[in-house]
Amino acid sequence: MPALPASIRDLSLSGKTLFLRVDFNVPIQDGVVKDDTRVVEALPTIRLAREKGAKVLLASHLGKAKGAPDPKYSLGPVARILEKHLGAPVGFAADCVGPVAESAARALAPGGVLLLENTRFHAGEEKNDPEFARQLASLAGAYVNDAFGTAHRAHASTAGMASHFPKGARGVGLLMEKELTALSRVVDSIDRPFAAILGGAKILGKIAALEALVERADVILVGGGMANHFVKALGLETGTSLLEPDGVPIARKVIDRCRERGVSLVLPSDFAVAPSLEKAGEARTVPMNAIPAGFAALDIGPKTLEMFRRMTKEARTIFWNGPMGVFETKPFDAGTLGVAKLLAESAGFTVVGGGESVEAVHAAGVAEKISHVSTGGGASLDLVSGAKLPGIEALR
């Protein structure tokens, strides 16, 4: 991985207006923030910016706003939660560009904090429109990106506006810095043996990461819906299990490449199956080569979990992305929660690569025992697969 861009620690911010891109894409229901984890994770960078004497403008997207104002995606409720955690006043501007934003930004004093309205209320955000990027940049004299969860998106506030600031006036925040440092340990500073655990419903969205990990890992363990493709590639029946036909030849290629490289490929030896989620009461455990017709594999079985534990026992580095089954529905949460505990028990450096795996480590109550829990599923997978992240490259 190339050297990191400049850090907020290195920037001179006294008296300057800082445009700080954060990831406040949090779940909101009836105007109430249901999970404030991402707000809490942004606090160290916000506090450092204030200590450095910056006037802090915070910007983020929220939800799937389609380029126009939508009250259900307003960041207003987030401003109140942030104020509570920060222990200092947080202003809120009803727009992120134009007269409203400009006036609110001008009124900020050093150490002051202002949250701008959802950047995706403007179509120019997702289009990375140069004029919209210019309008955002015109609000500030320095730019810091701390939104790792959106670093793989080439949007106006995450990439396009960075070029409007000279080197020495742009960089990454503390959370972004922490993410990049930790993930470099599963990309190019690997302490071996290195085990990668991949799950999730689909294989097609993870092709690049899967192919990259085959070249990098010593052990690859596969679960979740992804595993069905490997079972099919071995010529076995998968019943009504989730399957993307185009994913089967990919699984076959991975099997062949692991054999060529001498990588240990660990597939489930048993599955928890049921006719459907609605008929979870009919769940049973079957060997991988005996999934009955009319049944779907909905979780890895106990023998697989034990095998995963054995195969990762000596690992010095473990990367995990993707649940082992439909863990939102009991009893199909056992495999995913088991993998979360497996990582927590490891003496090695453990990384959970964002997405639903993060929910799982919190549900298992072991998040504090994981070396690094990433805030970005898509971004962490892109980074692991060797892709360049627009939000990082724009700062270089």
Give the per-residue pLDDT at 355: 80
CA distance 381 to 147: 15
Tell me the pTM.
Answer: 0.92
Burial 9-38 (b: 16+ CB within 10 A, else e): eebebeebbbbbbbbbbbebeeeebeebeb
Which domain-ending residue is among 178, 201, 219? 178
pLDDT at 188 exceeding the cut of 90: no
Which domain-ending residue is among 126, 156, 178? 178
Rg of the chain on CA atoms, in Å: 23
* 366 and 225 inside one domain: yes
pLDDT at 101 exceeding the cut of 80: yes
What's the CATH code of the domain at 63?
Answer: 3.40.50.1260
Determine how many CB atoms are found less than 10 A away from the CB of residue 115.
25
User: Do 274 and 256 form a contact (C-beta atoms < 8 A)?
Assistant: no
In a domain, 322, yes or no: yes
* 198 and 110 inside one domain: no
SS3 of 164, please?
helix
In a domain, 201, yes or no: yes
In a domain, 42, yes or no: yes
pLDDT grade, residue 354 (50/70/90)?
confident
What percentage of the chain carries pLDDT values higher than 90?
92
Contacts with 176 (C-beta within 8 Å, 6 or more apart), sequence order: 145, 146, 147, 148, 151, 392
Q: Exactly one of 53, 63, 205, 378 is catalytic; name it.
A: 378
* 265 and 139 inside one domain: no
In a domain, 184, yes or no: no
Average pLDDT on 11-39 reads 94
* 126 and 29 inside one domain: yes
- Which DSSP state fits 128? T
Contacts with 21 (C-beta within 8 Å, 6 or more apart), sequence order: 59, 60, 143, 144, 145, 146, 147, 150, 157, 158
Contacts with 105 (C-beta within 8 Å, 6 or more apart), sequence order: 17, 55, 57, 93, 114, 139, 140
User: Is position 134 annotated as part of the catalytic site?
Assistant: no
In a domain, 1, yes or no: no
pLDDT at 1 exceeding the cut of 80: no
For residue range 218-260, what is the model confidence (pLDDT) as tens digits?
999 999 999 999 999 999 999 999 999 999 999 999 999 999 9
Which domain-ending residue is among 147, 178, 209? 178
Give the per-residue pLDDT at 3: 83
pLDDT at 356 exceeding the cut of 90: no
Nearest residue to 317 via CA among 388, 218, 224, 210: 218
For residue range 273-322, what is the model confidence (pLDDT) as tens digits?
999 999 999 999 999 999 999 999 999 999 999 999 999 999 999 999 99
Give the per-residue pLDDT at 148: 96
Tokens 């992804």 identify what position? 226
For residue range 189-198, what is the model confidence (pLDDT) as tens digits?
899 999 999 9
CA distance 347 to 355: 23
Q: What DSSP assignment string belongs to 12-26?
A: --TTPEEEEE-----
* 159 and 219 inside one domain: no
* 164 and 243 inside one domain: no
In a domain, 3, yes or no: no
Question: CA geometry: angle at 118 spanning 112 and 123, to 5°?
Answer: 135
Give the per-residue pLDDT at 167: 93
For residue range 369-396, what is the model confidence (pLDDT) as tens digits?
999 999 888 899 999 998 999 999 999 8
User: Is position 261 annotated as part of the catalytic site?
Assistant: no
In a domain, 276, yes or no: yes
* 258 and 362 inside one domain: yes
Number of domains comprising the chain: 2
SS3 of 182, please?
helix
* 202 and 351 inside one domain: yes
Give the per-residue pLDDT at 268: 98
Full domain range(s) for residue 200:
190-384
Average pLDDT on 67-87 reads 97
pLDDT grade, residue 2 (50/70/90)?
confident
Q: Exactly one of 355, 376, 377, 391 is catalytic; name it.
A: 355
- Which DSSP state fits 7? B
* 161 and 250 inside one domain: no
For residue range 133-172, what is the model confidence (pLDDT) as tens digits?
999 999 999 999 999 999 999 999 999 999 999 999 999 9
In a domain, 396, yes or no: no
Q: Exactly one of 47, 127, 134, 202 is catalytic; name it.
A: 202
Q: Exactly one of 16, 21, 38, 206 is catalytic; name it.
A: 38
Burial 200-220 (b: 16+ CB within 10 A, else e): bbbbebbbebbbbbbebbbbb
* 266 and 235 inside one domain: yes
* 260 and 338 inside one domain: yes
* 208 and 77 inside one domain: no
CA distance 316 to 70: 47
SS3 of 298, please?
strand
* Per-chain mean pLDDT for the chain: 96
CA distance 352 to 356: 10
User: Is position 378 annotated as part of the catalytic site?
Assistant: yes
Average pLDDT on 338-354 reads 95
User: Is position 202 annotated as part of the catalytic site?
Assistant: yes
